[in-house]
Chains A and B, each alone.
Chain A
Amino acid sequence: MSSGADRSLLRSLVSDPMGALGLVLVLLFLAMALFAPWLAPADPVKLDVTQKFQPPSLTHWAGTDQLGRDLLSRIIYGARTAVSIAVTSVGLAGLIGLLLGMIAGYGPRWLDAILVLLFDSLSSLPMILFALAVITVIGPGTSTLILVVVIVSIPGYARLIRAQTLGLSGADFIQAERAMGAGPVRVLLRHLLPNVVGPLVILLSMDIPVVIMLEAGLSYLNLGVRPPTPSWGNILYDGYTSLRSAPYMVLIAGLPLVLSTLGFTFLGEGLRDALDPKLRHGVPR
């Protein structure tokens, strides 16, 4: 894709108010995650029991928790935890799903049958129960979370890509490429890939908030990210246990969770509209 096409993609994304809001929120959270060490006013794991349960003030903008840790810093570092887990696992699952889906859709039928059986068996695993089972076996932690998300999400992506590939492989333009002497690799990479990634990108960006919620949920249950690593789920749990003494904690941990989820969802929807070449120039058909 030329830079001109990218620029017009960005323009049509921004011209949609929801898409623009989503983009701003997502960029905000990405910046928080990326520049956490510079943005955070304090060390997120430094204890200071004398300062515990401080309400929001000028020194601690978001207050402190039951161990006197600066909550704003913990929220900022929590963004790093959430984003890195979500992007890594969804990205990895998307890549594997893309590869398997294209092979299933364009490869020989027998391989397709095997892969579809694999997708079906994987997707029969309920995400939370499977997560609990894996955590029980190999213990909680960041890598366990990523592993669970990757395994559970591959079938969805692979199915989407397989269906897209299958639908397109009989299309006239693919026949036309073949009639011009294009081999399978060229057909897959140059012609099928750009046609199938659009929907995948949208699905991926809509799945990122799901994984952020899963991470927060499991961390809330003490099955995800291990303390003291800051996670929005951990903070939410701490806030819940000290709801009477520090009710603001729950709000402060819940807010970024809600905003990032909304941000990624809006961005996903905005991308869906902007990536459709038929909608790009404002003439819907």
Chain B
Amino acid sequence: MTGAVLQIEGLKLDYAVPGGRLHALRHVSLSIKKGEVLGIAGESGCGKSTLAAAMIGLTGANARQSAGTIRLGGQDMASLSEDDRRRLRGRKIAMVFQDPMTAFNPVLTIGGQLTDFQHNIEGLGRAEKRARAQAMLSRVGLSDPALIMGRYPHELSGGMRQRAAIAAALLLQPEVLIADEPTTALDVTMEAQIIHLFRELRDDYDGAMVIVTHHLGVIAELCDRVAIMYAGEVVEEGPVDAIYHGARHPYTRALMACDPAMIEGRTARLPTIGGALPDLRSPPPGCAFAPRCPLATDRCRAEAPPDVQLTAGHRALCHEVRP
């Protein structure tokens, strides 16, 4: 696809764990265009955080990319040296972490860290870097940024810290901003404020955003496109409207049915998806969702499902869907 800032093709990644290798990503292909907001959703353990870490090249020491390519601005990340990859981080691609409580170095002031983050920029004095940092703090909606600059992380509230973390990630105007569960550690009020901030940023920030979350509401609020992950695969991908109003993959449909926000009327029990995730140390030969799927046939259990193109930009990984 042309115009993609970040393009992932056939990515396979596994972790060395006791008892073998855990296949956390099994053939993931995604691409994100400039100015687009992509949501990645799925239950815990589906590989969405691993995918986010792989995008920025910060998977753990026990991770191994066994196949596929990640292209950032057309450049294959695997062809670069570790040093060159490091130089891309912050400038081309940046990340907002889940827990704002631990995302800052506790012994440095916020201003000190935001200034320090700009070490990659040459030809800018310390005063200018501080000014940029302060402007960015004000941009993310922190009142009195001058005061915040001199504060230590523990002196700020969770919401303020998440704003500061977003400011840090946007500091170098990256082409791709990844937010890994940016609102999960916050309370509902703060969550609404941070979502609001992302919406605002989306309008005047021209880079691409990737929002990783298990909260379907966040995606509905923020994203243009959504990829639903299950057991290390993208099982359905498409425009937000198409997925929310016309989900085709049985897993996506089940996931939507479980969202408490979708339930009308009183129920004694919240719906759940029966069964559990397959053991990713030895993934099943067929569809990973087959054991939990109401539509599963013998073919589903034996053969890997095809990638079915449903409409333009909407695809699902399933034997039982038809365009």
Contact = CB atoms under 8 A, between A and B. Distances in A.
Interface stretch (A49-57, A154-162, A172-180): A172-180
Contacts of B152: 277
19 contacts: A109-B61, A172-B97, A172-B98, A175-B97, A176-B95, A176-B97, A177-B105, A178-B58, A178-B86, A178-B89, A179-B97, A180-B94, A180-B171, A180-B172, A183-B83, A186-B119, A191-B105, A194-B108, A277-B106
A226 interface: no
Given A194-B107, A277-B154, A179 B90 contact: yes
Given A178-B58, A180-B117, A277-B154, A173 B103 contact: yes
Give the contact-size bracket for chain B: 20 to 34
Interface in B133-178: 152, 154-155, 165, 168-169, 171-172
Contact of A176 (B87, B119, B168): B168
B83, B89, B172: residue with the most chain A Cβ atoms closer than 10 Å: B89
A181 B154 contact: no
B148 to A, nearest CB: 16
Contacts of B94: 179-180
Contact of A173 (B83, B95, B105, B169): B105
A179 B119 contact: no
Nearest to A108: B61
B191 interface: no
B103 A176 contact: yes
A182 B98 CA distance: 19
B116 interface: yes
B120 A181 contact: yes
A109, A175, A191: residue with the most chain B Cβ atoms closer than 10 Å: A175
A11 interface: no
Contacts of A171: 102
A179 B93 CA distance: 8
Interface string A242-285: 00000000000000000000000000000000000110010001
Contacts of A183: 83, 86
Given A194-B108, A281-B155, 6 more contacts: A172-B97, A181-B87, A181-B88, A191-B108, A195-B105, A277-B106
A171 B58 CA distance: 13
Given A181-B86, A194-B108, A173 B119 contact: no
B97 to A, nearest CB: 5
B110 to A, nearest CB: 12
